[in-house]
């Protein structure tokens, strides 16, 4: 087994060269991405705009610098998630192309080292970095998802935001007017409970409501309503999920409709882990079921798609070593663009229910997998 303890000098040289190329590409692309994004959205960091009233006010210089650092530090994980496969491909192709340009491959071939043996440390390094991208997607991004979904001009969560409506898993419908992220508070919250065998439908209107996350306390995992109308309920008609604490003060238990669910980003599911996507798919009333199913299946095919992309690019470069390096790079770019186009097209067709979610996720692998194997096998050794 190829391991770090049994690495030859050639393996170490290629592995270190690949890792170095990867970090150079990563830093260069991320820096360019951040600089362009910063200049295009500089106004969002310098002024805080209220989307409800349309008013805006300048942000202090110290807070301006702090917001930029805070925003792009967390955004680095998201950018890496988006660009990981492309950067790994570029680093792999750059490593081999540099060896070709420096005439380092011919002496190795003369010494009896095959091209496939030369590629081994690069492929292992690519697989390791793709695994790191999956870890980033499953463990890091879900934990900072609430930060990634904040606006550039409201990183502290102090701005007044609009509230969406939704149904909880227990049948309760909640609507609201305005909310504040930093306080997990909503102004003008309206709660409608369903008809059950124990109670009839009731409507509660609260001037203020605050979400309390689940903890060991009894009054947690729901909404604390104050200044509520009606101030009292008929003792014979109190739903199981509603508890009257005092006149005008109620606690409504919810299972899935927390503050984030009422204020989350339209594409919040992109920041969810695979386990969370599976939980959402088990809910029959979950929105965008087809799109969620496609994303769920693509999570499993992502490492294979990344490796196919890397092997495909290297195979095109090395298949004909007499070809000009720029022509080879152009062919590599063209096929990889076609590959990404197929991936995005399958995702679109799957989310539109023209293809089944599983087929939409696996079709790029089925289409380009055999081609990649053929091209890799045709590399002259």
Tell me, rounded to whole angstroms, the distance of Cα 105 from its chain centroid. 39
> Reduced to 3 states, what is the DSSP secondary structure of residue 226?
strand
Give yes or no: residues 128 and 80 share one domain: yes
Determine how β-strand 203-212 pairs with β-strand 185-192. Answer: antiparallel
Q: Are 336 and 226 in a shared domain?
A: no
| pLDDT confidence of residue 94 | 87
The verdict on residue 278 lying in a domain is no
From CA 252, how far away is CA 230, in angstroms rounded?
A: 14
Query: Which of 228, 263, 298 marks a domain boundary?
Result: 263
Number of domains in the chain: 2
Residue 121 located in a structural domain: yes
**pTM of the prediction?**
0.76
DSSP class per residue in 151-194:
-TT-TTS-SEEE---EE-TTS-EEEEEEEEGGGTEEEEEEEEPP
Cβ-contact 105, 99 below 8 angstroms = yes
Residue at a domain's end among 231, 263, 295: 263
Q: Are residues 145 and 293 in the same domain?
A: yes
Question: CA–CA separation, 316 vs 335, rounded Å?
Answer: 9
* Rounded-to-integer distance, Cα 83 and Cα 320, Å: 28
Neighbours of 118 (CB within 10 A): 21
**Is residue 219 located within the same domain as residue 164?**
yes
Task: Tell me: do 293 and 347 sit in the same domain.
Answer: yes
pLDDT at 52: 47
Nearest to 122 by CA among 14, 1, 4, 9: 14
Range of the domain at 226: 160-263
Element containing residue 360 per DSSP (H, E): helix 357-377
273 in a structural domain: no
Note whether 214 and 337 are same-domain residues: no
Q: Tell me, yes or no, whether 16 and 143 share the same domain.
A: yes
Kindly provide the b/e burial profile for residues 41-70, where b requires at least 16 CB atoms within 10 angstroms of the residue's own CB. eeebbeebbeeeeeeeeebeeeeeeebbee
Task: Give the span between the Cα atoms of 315 and 379, in whole angstroms.
Answer: 7
Contact 53, 122 (CB under 8 A): no
Q: State the burial class of residue 186 (Cβ atoms within 10 Å of its Cβ: 0-12, 13-18, 19+).
A: buried
Residue 345 lies in a domain: yes
Residues 117 and 94 in one domain: yes
Residue 231: count other Cβ atoms within 10 Å of its Cβ. Answer: 12
Which of 232, 263, 294 delimits the end of a domain? Answer: 263
Question: How much is the pLDDT for 18?
Answer: 92
Strands 56-58 and 47-49: antiparallel
Q: How far is CA 367 from the centre of its chain?
A: 25
The whole-number mean pLDDT for each consecutive block of 10 residues of the chain, a chain of 381 residues, reads 59 90 91 86 69 57 78 88 89 86 80 84 92 92 83 67 80 85 85 82 89 82 89 84 88 84 76 85 67 90 91 83 69 79 89 88 90 84 60
Indicate if 30 and 130 belong to the same structural domain. Answer: yes
221 and 179, same structural domain? yes
Spatial contact of 206 and 243, defined as CB atoms under 8 Å apart: no
* Rg over CA atoms, the chain: 27
On whether both 142 and 238 belong to a single domain, the answer is no
Q: How many residues does the chain have?
A: 381
Classify residue 29: in a domain, yes or no. yes
* Spatial CA neighbour of 250 closest among 239, 261, 260: 239
Residue 36 lies in a domain: yes
Question: What span, in angstroms and rounded, lies between the C-alpha atoms of 367 and 109?
Answer: 32
144 and 196 inside one domain: no
How far from 288 is each of 86, 120, 176, 293, CA to CA, in Å?
Answer: 28, 41, 22, 9
**Residue 28 placed within a domain:** yes
Task: Tell whether 274 is covered by a domain.
Answer: no
pLDDT at 126: 93
């Amino acid at each position: 087994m190829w391991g770090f303890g049994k690495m030859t000098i050639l393996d170490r040289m290629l592995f270190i060269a690949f890792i170095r190329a990867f970090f150079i590409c990563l830093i260069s692309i991320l820096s360019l991405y951040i600089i362009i994004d910063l200049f295009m959205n500089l106004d969002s960091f310098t002024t805080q705009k209220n989307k409800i009233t349309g008013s805006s006010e300048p942000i202090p210089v110290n807070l301006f610098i702090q917001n930029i650092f805070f925003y792009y530090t967390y955004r680095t994980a998201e950018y890496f998630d988006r660009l990981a496969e492309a950067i790994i491909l570029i680093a792999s192709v750059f490593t081999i192309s540099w060896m070709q340009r420096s005439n380092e491959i011919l002496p190795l071939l003369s010494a009896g080292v095959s091209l496939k043996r030369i590629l081994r440390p690069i492929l292992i390094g690519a697989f390791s970095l793709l695994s790191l991208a999956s870890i980033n997607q499953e463990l890091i991004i879900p934990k900072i998802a609430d930060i990634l979904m904040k606006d550039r001009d409201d990183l502290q969560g102090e701005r007044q935001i609009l509230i969406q409506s939704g149904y909880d898993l227990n049948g309760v419908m909640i609507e609201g007017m305005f909310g504040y992220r930093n306080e997990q508070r909503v102004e003008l919250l309206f709660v409608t409970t369903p008809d059950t065998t124990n109670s009839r439908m009731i409507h509660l209107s609260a001037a203020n409501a605050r979400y309390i996350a689940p903890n060991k306390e009894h009054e947690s995992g729901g909404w604390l309503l104050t200044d509520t109308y009606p101030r009292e309920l008929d003792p014979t008609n109190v739903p199981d999920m509603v508890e009257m604490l005092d006149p005008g003060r109620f606690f409504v238990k919810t299972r899935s409709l927390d503050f984030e669910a009422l204020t989350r980003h339209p594409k919040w599911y992109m920041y969810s882990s695979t386990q969370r996507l599976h939980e959402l798919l088990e809910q029959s009333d979950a929105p965008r079921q087809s799109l969620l199913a496609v994303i769920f299946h693509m999570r499993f095919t992502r490492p294979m798609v990344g490796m196919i992309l890397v092997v495909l690019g290297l195979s095109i470069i090395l298949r004909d070593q007499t070809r000009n390096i720029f022509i080879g790079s152009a062919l590599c770019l063209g096929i990889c663009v076609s590959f990404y186009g197929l991936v995005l097209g399958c995702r679109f067709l799957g989310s539109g229910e023209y293809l089944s979610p599983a087929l939409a996720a696996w079709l790029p692998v089925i289409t380009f997998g055999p081609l990649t194997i053929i091209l890799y096998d045709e590399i002259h050794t």
